[in-house]
Structure 1
Amino acid sequence: MMQRYLVLGCVAPVMLAGAMCAQGTKLWTVDRYDTMERGSTDGVAIRSDGRLEAGPEKSMLYDTGKSYVWSLASDRGGNRYLGLGGTAAGTGVVMRVAPDGKTVKLLETKELAVQALAVAPDGSVFAATSPDGKVYRTAAGGGAGTVIFDPATTEEKPKYLWDLATGRNGDVYIAAGAPAVVYRVPAGGGKAEVLFETADQHIRCLMMAPDGTLWAGSDGAGVIYRIDTKAAGAKPFAAYAAPRREITSLTMDEAGNVYAAGVGARAAMPLPPLPVTGNVGITVTFAQPGSSTAAGANSLVPDGSEIYRIAKDGTPARLLAMKDDVVYALAFRNGTLWAATGNRGRVYRVDVGMPGRFTDVAHLEAAQGMAFAPARDGLLVATSNSGKLFQLGDAAAKESVYTSEVFDAQGYSQWGRVERRADGAAQNYELWLRSGNVESPLMGWSDWVRVGVDGAGTVPPGRFAQWKVVLHPGTPAGIDAVGLNYLTRNVAPILDEIVVQPGARMAAGGGTPASTTVQVAFPQPPGAAPGVSFQPDANTTPLTAQKDKGSVTARWLAHDDNGDDLVFAVWYRGVGEQNWRLLKDKISDRFFSFDSSLLPDGSYELKVVGSDAPVHEDSEALTGERVSQVFVVDTTPPVPGALTATLVPAAVGTAPRIHAVLEAHDATSPIAHAEYSLDAGPWQYLEPVGQVSDSMAERYDFTAEIPKTTTPVADAKEHVIAVRIYDRYENMAAVKAVVR
């Protein structure tokens, strides 16, 4: 049965869940892979088209207690072999896990890690250690390891041993790096021979085909080689040069198609040329492959990875590009291509018939899926960070549960009907829902409530919600999408801060302000009321206004937890008054400039009222408000009294002077400062009696020396003295007197 969505109101997909719609019923939808993968899976697989279906049975067989399992192999008797390693010498160990779960330390080496394992037809176990390692052979029943290959004894002396493969006749093939060489060690032991070597840095992986063709992948140029091991003197053939620099794994299907994983961006060969002449020394540095570095450091390889197919006729094709995953291992089982990846510990099933399509089948409790090995009824997976051994069964999981991520409605909400798009009968799966008011479901959430066929599942209102689906075993149920309707309760807007700046005006029409500007910014300048730091409103940059002493500009921060559009009204009242009077309403901006002459001189407060009325009916609209700090409107200059000035005759050795006396007062604000000029000379700062200018009335009593001019003082008929008085808001009045 297919069910389609019929949604009334605002649809908010989960990828946009943080972008709240203004009002009405909303729908949280999970219907794509990138949203499905954020949840947790237990026996559930997630297809790349977002479909949930039953996944393979997953079980943990062994926890090593170590960080790294680098390699994995199995034999016909059901024994599993794990190659361990660490960050210190002597940590390279081979562990055998028997079918009954008992573990035995099969081999302990002096090297850092057991990089590769292989099981010979006779049951012998081969282990390659790295770096500066060796290849050891251990008998099927255990015992001391025997060195069958030591790179130090070769002419090339490679630093790294990366992979092993065995032929049907018992020959052992060794992939080495720094430099890149493939060696062959004859069955039963003997001197190793160079099968082939390349100009790359490393040979990273090997695969022996049933027909005796050895396949090898390199690091550096990302080349996949093949060579016929049955033909004497056969030359390697470069079957494919991948777009990526490192080939991490190879596998083959029953039809003879080869699959390869490539990681890392292509780059020029980093090995410097050797000097031809002279006595100049150089240092040659061999870098480990990016995938090995990533696994050891638990960090991603840039640019993700890709999976390729080389058809039996040699035609290459890209099957899958993965942005955030590094493919460490490939395996082909029961007609399916599997990929183990890091650094999220995922196992994918790749659709070889349709490029780009895959299924996320398992989330491992580790950072990297490092290696595959076959099991009797499934596939073994070894992991690093932390080092464990899992098995993915051929059969579907007995219990398949998917739990969504926690959804944040961004506000207290009422939860409605759950919609789903699925196939199969409704009894083939169960859908559950729960809610809460804290982000963690472990902290006081509601119990899980079963969702009925009609989508009803009553859970308490709250801010957070989560759903889960249980797929019943043996049924063809699959879930393509789940949507949860919800209605966020309307809450009042909040006015977070108000700044009032007298002497400032926004440019008319929003044009470019004049060069003389005032910055109206948060927080307020020193001496003003403490500002509030509020994050939800990001528009806190300074507002550039024109300097205009005849205007007042108010600016405010506001937010609405529902995301509603807001309109504002600005009110005023004088200090000591009871009633608010409207200045302007229906303001959509978050600032307002007005002519200060609308208000008589005095002290005032502004109140800004925000309303969500644009997106709600009048009966449901809510408001929030905030009152500013007191500000002063003062447009009237001070009132000076009469300026009395008299000539003081010159005494012996002194110049004549003028003695002046003046009183001034202001009705609204204190006198700020005064200055005088004598005979149109420069303005001189003038202190009041008492020196501190802090009152609404000030008295000035001063003597000014008459400046020397080209005209002798004795010949001057008269002198003019002028005084300018300023109040705190730069209103100015002037007075003058003529002295004869």
Structure 2
Amino acid sequence: MKKLPLIAAMLLAFSLPAQAEFPKNWYLEGVGDFLDGDILSTAIEADGSLSLGFDIRPVVNLPRGVILDAESNGHQLLVGTANPAAVYQVDLKQGSGYQVKNLLQRSQGVISAVLPEKGGTVLAALSPFGQIYRIGGQKSELIHSMDERYIWEMQTGPQGEVYILTGDSGSLYRLGSDQKLTRLYQSGEANLKVLHQDSHWGLLLGSGSKGIVYRHQSGKTQALLHTPFSEITALTGDGKGNVFVAATSATPEKNGPKSAVYFIDKQGRSDMIFRMSSETAFTLEMDKAGSLLIGTGPRGRIYRFSDPLSPEKRILSLPARSQSRQLVKLLQGPGEDILLVGSSPAQIESYQGNYLNKGIYETQIFSSNLTSQWGSLHFDAVLPPETEIKAWSRSGNTADPDNTWSEWSGPYSRPQGNQINSPEGKYLQFRFELSSRNRKQTPYLHSFDISYLRENLPPYLKDVYFLQRGIYFKPHTLAKVEGPRTIELNPDVLDKLRRPRGTEEIYQELMAQKAAGPMRLLQEYRPGMLSLAWDVDDPNEDELRYEVWYQPYGQKGWKKLAQDLQENVFSFDTATLMDGSYHFRVFAHDQLSNSGPSFKVFKDSQLITVDNTAPSISNLEASIEEKQIRLRFSAKDSTSPLAYAEYSLNGQKTALFQSKDGIVDGLEEQFEFTLAKPGKGQHFVVVRIVDRLGNVQTAKKTFEIQ
């Protein structure tokens, strides 16, 4: 007879071709979800909706170089660069055509700080040489060569003095009107990087390696804020005691933010108000409306906090994105404009209050993990007059879009539902186009969702095995828990409850109402019990049911032992089976989770012996000799080899003994052993034989010593 392998798996599919599990949904809403996509020319509003981006217009592209610092006096912008080390002046007056003038250029080093002075002259710092130049008219003059190599920041004080932050010794200097340099404070770290003047706190200094904000006032310096980051990148505020701090670390802690923004109030209380995991806040600026603007890299994003001084009213939005990957400075420009100074590429832009006519947003790549058929796209949007939202989709089977992906399909423009035309695949992406014919109006995309149907794949039974003999499980709780439901509230729980339920969740809830409820099992022990267990995976995470069958070794047919099992373990009393060897077969099917065709798979166990019959003992004899007692007997088991033998004289402690051939390991064994001759009187000896499955047989022999 031809048999299947002992460990075998066969796929049993229903007659129809495999289709899919129950439909699922992909849902996106709010800041957290939209930030995962690519905000090309759109913005995120305070309420989390996606809108048209504000119009960012190019002012000027610098010939080349990396911008390190920039300052504005309202009508002119001064820029310090590296590669080359140069100072540029950009004329911001209307009608000037944004003319660029090169004020200073050096063959070595970088211009690390610039400062316009009241008389129209300009100070420029050349690092790593620690040199300060004054530029006026067509001339430049070296006015100081410091003992420091790096000059990071220069600001004019209320009396016309200049405050300077340096690297090497991490010091604060004062340059007086008499051109005399005085060191006011040495921090003990390598660099002090940023400076902010405040009437309440005095001079605020941001460190470059310890993440500390120092306050220097009346000749004394104290730490005002110690962040867990290494570098303070920006300081700003209202000048009256309310301060905002940007901090970052080049190597953030595992699972920790890369950068963050803090708020310090007039009482010195601080709070982290914004954290970023993949971006760095490089610059901060407050606009004329009192909002806080945050410029970042490497995506060149501008975030905005409205009412930043009020924790109750403070709301974050993402209004615009620069063409530069890194924003170096945000500065107040002419009128209501905010100037964006960026690197990569080095350019100046103007952030204004009008919306773009068109904006593009591309979603993150959605993975269904399995080949899927795409359903409909629904989106929740507000469409004022003269505005419109369209969407396109594309799909593929690689995690990153390449030339194997489909072309963009669409457009989809009906919020109430659009059939997605992209071909089946494992990955899907959408591109939304927001447009307006009115520069003062924008459409708003609040959320969108799609339905999809994944290909149904069969369960996979990895292993079928037996637990230790005698161990078994019995149900402990079968009924569903009735009554009010109690939960421990936390942000994750609340976030899940705020989202609309998908079709899969509704289906699972209906199935749960029909189900018997969760089953708890008790582990117990009883000789003769056997537990069969199995490891199973399902790519679709379907709800599975199981059957157990058995086959006596050497026979053809299979007999059903159990069906409709929910757990991946089955216990039974082997007394219901005849002694012998058996294969067991476990079936798993996913019919409950699939509205269409489903799969049924099986896997066989290794051969196992069932033996509930004790060994037999025959011809037990006790011969009395001069100094000893000689015992002889035979033992036999029809199914399992014998395991060990022991005896007890007159009920004393038992002792092991071996068979005549030296090892107790056969189905039949002969035994002969001697005992020391006891004293006069009647005595008895008990022998016990145990087979490998724990079945026990005993026999007793009585004898008398004269």
* TM-score normalized with structure 2 length: 0.71
Distance, in Å, in 2 between the alignment partners of 1:58 and 1:671 is: 92
1:457 equivalenced with 2:420 (yes/no) = yes
Give the C-alpha shift of residue 416 in structure 1.
1.0
Cα offset, 1:431, TM superposition? 0.5
In the alignment, structure 1 residue 703 sits paired with structure 2 residue 693: no
Q: Does 1:581 align with 2:559?
A: yes
**Cα displacement string for residues 425-469 of structure 1 (whole angstroms, at most 9, x for unaligned residues):** 697343011122332222622221113334123111222211111
CA contact (8 A) 1:645 1:659 kept: yes
Deviation at 1:566, TM superposition (A): 2.6
Equivalent-residue separation in structure 1 for 2:322 and 2:563 (angstroms): 59
SS across alignment from 1:503: coil
Q: Answer whether contact 1:257 1:309 (CA < 8 A) is retained.
A: no
The alpha carbon displacement at 1:674 in A equals: 1.9
Aligned to 2:275: 323
- Give the superposition deviation at 1:422: 2.2
CA shift at 1:93, angstroms? 5.0
CA distance in 2, matches of 1:224, 1:576: 89
Alignment partner of 1:304: what SS?
strand
Match of 2:640 in 1: 669
Q: Which of 411, 421, 426 does residue 370 from structure 2 map onto?
A: 411
Which one of the candidate residues 453, 460, 471 is aligned to 1:494?
460
1:199–1:657 CA distance, 2 compared to 1 (3 A): closer
Q: What residue is the counterpart of 2:449 in the other structure? A: 483
Partner residue of 1:40 out of 38, 49, 53:
38
The amino acid that maps onto 2:690 is Y
* 1-structure distance, mates of 2:356, 2:139: 39
Q: CA deviation at 1:696?
A: 1.8
Q: 1:638 to 1:481 in 2, by over 3 A?
A: same
Residue 42 of structure 1, CA deviation: 1.6
Instruction: Give the structure 2 partner of residue 600 of structure 1.
Output: 578
Amino acid at match of 1:351: S
Distance 2:684 2:138 in 1: 119
Q: Distance in 2 between matches of 1:166 and 1:496?
A: 73
Which residue in the other structure is 2:655 paired with? 684
RMSD: 4.9
Q: Which runs of 5+ in 1 are unaligned?
A: 1-21, 85-90, 153-158, 227-234, 264-290, 512-542, 650-655
Tell me the distance in 2 between the aligned counterparts of 1:339 and 1:42: 18
* Equivalences for residues 169-248 of structure 1 within 5 A: 171-175=161-165, 181=172, 183-186=174-177, 190-192=179-181, 205-206=194-195, 216-219=203-206
Q: 1:123 to 1:684 in 2, by over 3 A?
A: same
**Offset at 1:23?**
6.0
In 1, are the aligned partners of 2:340 and 2:349 still within 8 Å (CA)? yes
Q: Does residue 1:371 correspond to 2:329, yes or no?
A: yes
Who is 1:348 aligned against?
A: 303
Q: CA separation of 1:657/1:50 partners in 2, compared to 1, >3 Å: closer, same or farther? A: same
* Equivalent position to 2:340, from 380, 394, 414: 380
For residues 250 and 615 of structure 2, the distance between their equivalents in structure 1, rounded to whole angstroms, comes to 79
Counterpart for residue 435 of structure 1: 395
Q: CA deviation at 1:474?
A: 4.8
Distance 1:671 1:200, change over 3 A: closer
Aligned position for 2:153: 163
Match of 1:18 in 2: none
1:552 Cα deviation (Å)? 0.8
CA distance in 2, matches of 1:184, 1:482: 58
- 2:578 match: secondary structure: coil
Kindly provide the amino acid, as one letter, of the partner of residue 458 in structure 1. Answer: N
Aligned match for 1:729, one of 693, 697, 700: 693
Structure 2 unmatched ranges of 5 or more: 1-19, 91-97, 478-520
Matched residue count: 606
Supply the distance in 2 between the matched residues of 1:453 and 1:149 (Cα, whole angstroms). Answer: 65
> Which residue of 135, 146, 152 corresponds with 1:150?
146
How far did 1:417 drift? 1.1
Structure 1 residue 34: deviation in Å?
0.2
* Per-residue deviation, residues 495-552 of structure 1 (Å, max 9, x unmatched): 33322125233455549xxxxxxxxxxxxxxxxxxxxxxxxxxxxxxx9843322211
Distance 1:317 1:214 in 2: 13
- The residue aligned with 1:88 is none
- 8 Å contact from structure 2 (residues 617, 634) kept in 1: yes
Q: How far 1:597 moved relative to its partner?
A: 0.9
Q: Sort the Cα spacing of 1:81 and 1:495 in 2 relative to 1 into closer, same or farther, 3 A.
A: same
Letter paired with 1:106: Q
Secondary structure, in 3 states, of the residue corresponding to 1:35?
A: helix
In the aligned structure 2, how far is the partner of 1:128 from the partner of 1:629? Answer: 81
Q: Which residue of 2 aligns with 1:7?
A: none
| 1:150 shift after superposition | 3.4
Give yes or no for contact 2:686–2:698 (8 Å, CA) kept in 1: yes
Q: Give me the whole-angstrom Cα distance separating, in 2, the residues matched to 1:393 and 1:52.
A: 18
Rounded Cα–Cα distance in structure 1 between residues aligned with 2:436 and 2:117: 39
Cα 1:320–1:46 change in 2 (3 A) is farther
1:137 pairs with one of 133, 137, 148: 133
How many angstroms apart in 2 are the aligned matches of 1:625 and 1:39? 43
Rounded to whole Å, the distance in 2 between the matches of 1:138 and 1:399 is 45
Is 2:77 the counterpart of 1:119? no
What CA deviation, in whole Å up to 9, does each residue of 1:114-147 have, x standing for no partner?
653323356654344789x745115368887624
| TM-score scaled by length of structure 1 | 0.68
- The alpha carbon displacement at 1:561 in A equals 2.8
Cα separation, partners in 2 of 1:297 and 1:739, compared to 1, 3 Å = closer
Instruction: Measure how far apart 1:317 and its partner are.
Output: 11
Q: 1:724 to 1:65 in 2, by over 3 A?
A: farther
Whether the aligned pair in 2 keeps the contact of 1:175 and 1:183 (CA below 8 Å) is no
Between the aligned partners of 2:691 and 2:201, the Cα distance in structure 1 is 96
Look up the match of 2:612. 635
Aligned pair in 2 of structure 1 residues 332, 305: CA closer, same or farther (>3 Å)?
A: closer
Residue identity (%) = 22
Offset, 1:37: 0.3
Q: What is the CA–CA distance in structure 2 between the aligned matches of 1:65 and 1:727, rounded to whole Å?
A: 88
**Maintained 8 Å contact 2:324/2:342:** no
Partner SS, residue 50 of structure 1: coil
Instruction: Name the CA shift for 1:484/1:508 in 2 (closer, same or farther; >3 Å).
Output: closer
| Secondary structure, counterpart of 2:179 in structure 1 | coil
Deviations for 1:692-735, whole angstroms, at most 9, x for unmatched residues? 444322233x331x3265x3xxxx36664443221111111123
Partner of 1:278: none
From the superposition, tell whether residues 593 and 728 of structure 1 become closer, same or farther in structure 2 (CA, over 3 Å): same
In 2, Cα distance between equivalents of 1:641 and 1:65: 103
Contact 2:382-2:444 within 8 A present in 1 as well: yes
Give the whole-Å Cα distance in 1 for the aligned partners of 2:375 and 2:174: 67
Deviates more, 1:417-426 or 1:353-362: 353-362
Which structure's residues are more often strand, by fraction? 2
Instruction: Please show how residues 70-81 of structure 1 align to structure 2 within 5 Å.
Output: 70-73=68-71, 81=79
* Residue 305 (structure 1) shift: 1.7
Query: Residues 676 and 724 of structure 1 are in contact (CA less than 8 Å); yes or no, is this contact kept in structure 2?
Result: yes
After superposition, the Cα gap between the structure-2 partners of 1:319 and 1:42, relative to the gap in structure 1 and judged at 3 Å, is farther
Quickly say closer, same or farther: Cα 1:501–1:296, change in 2 above 3 A: closer
